[in-house]
Structure 1
């Protein structure tokens, strides 16, 4: 650990935890600093007659989270009942000559790699057990995801996307798209990039934030499968005819549809019962009745441009709406 981290080694600890039944989990835990931040590493080992299992957690934010997830994964391990096979090449250097299990990682040797890379979130145990290669429905979305993953070829697995809670696509900027996943943001040429369906976004099992701004796009129905979504910033074709895709978003807190007008939408009853909504900004010139918003208990912000003969009395009377603007007139 000192050879890899030097003076940046902050702490190191060795201890055991109770596993399943009478099994013991052997734990190595340490922390290192870099660029005014800390990285936390937890490594767990389980040993049996026919197996040796290793679990490595790396987290740039919380030692407690790293410890909980890694030890939890180790505790979930079940022996498969098959003879263990020792495969791979013995590593050299970094103290490996003194490491008694040569086919496992030396936990200290991985630090230099992870210190300069994004720390991956571990997929859920259920997701790991059913991991599969994504069969892309849309070439444009595949191109964007591969660019952000820096993976030009080879399979993209379902668990590769588990670490990402946000997805960002802005395609009206001219000759480039601005795209992002998690903390990673970049620009790619728009030439030859066409998005025809959003079905692939359902592969993001933990998506809570989505920005999608592509003005010639019309079919957003696949978004109804994003059940964990809390923030949606949507700007698509003015030919959009309904808001039915919101039916599948029970946790949605913020809806931003302020960049484009949607005159063909005539029914907004979909908002009824969306009690998690805190903010709605939307342009619906064909809507006269906006009383549905008055019944949303957590709605604090409503900006709406709608029909000039709108009956605004119900939402004006709604005390929970603290920031209200109707047809560019700020009410309060």
Structure 2
């Protein structure tokens, strides 16, 4: 498969790898982007890629809480300018409130706001404001108490990142601290049990290949038993500590895990949701860096 400058650029932006390393990774994997990411990580040339970093869409995340129920919705727009529009912000607020009684996005689209279905309200706003808008997703949590937090707030209850935390027990202020922690760290799951098995398996394969390669080139190689029984399990434990909420070091007090901090406060974290505007939507580039084109031309 022909490796293009655009592919090299995308891989560099995703992994932080150097230009030539990115090109070699794509060549070695016949242009498979995911395999190229793993190849770079195996060689120790990139960190775990987060697709959520590739943000393009604008808009706002709106949150609403009613007792033990909380919702977050994402309404996208074409430009950030629209996100500052008072009419757009009111629409986001109305949709978030309507989402409290909706089961999912499709149900939300037919729920009523100001006497008309949400889908019609959005179409009306498109006609008035003059930009395309998309109700992309919603998330809901329930517990004894639900706490919300909005990062980079554009108005009360809405901003670029919305977080919901459902707790068992009575909140004494720890809920907002946990929500702020989630906004900052973007954990992949609540705990190991709720982590996507495919993500766990992929990480195991990467860490195994990386450990074996490092050992093969070491001046003092370790017995393979040590690699499989100690080094790889140790790296997987670290992966879980960094990527599962309950095992992460609490940003407010790094001496504690989030789970321990919650326990000390007399609550249990049941569930959480974190939505960031545009996460997972790849950015469309109109042109490419001259250095990339030059490198590809000279290849």
TM-score computed with the length of structure 2 as normaliser? 0.20
Structure having the higher Rg: 1
Query: Which structure has greater helix proportion?
Result: 2
Higher RCO by CA contacts (8 Å cutoff, separation 6 or greater) = 2
TM-score computed with the length of structure 1 as normaliser? 0.19
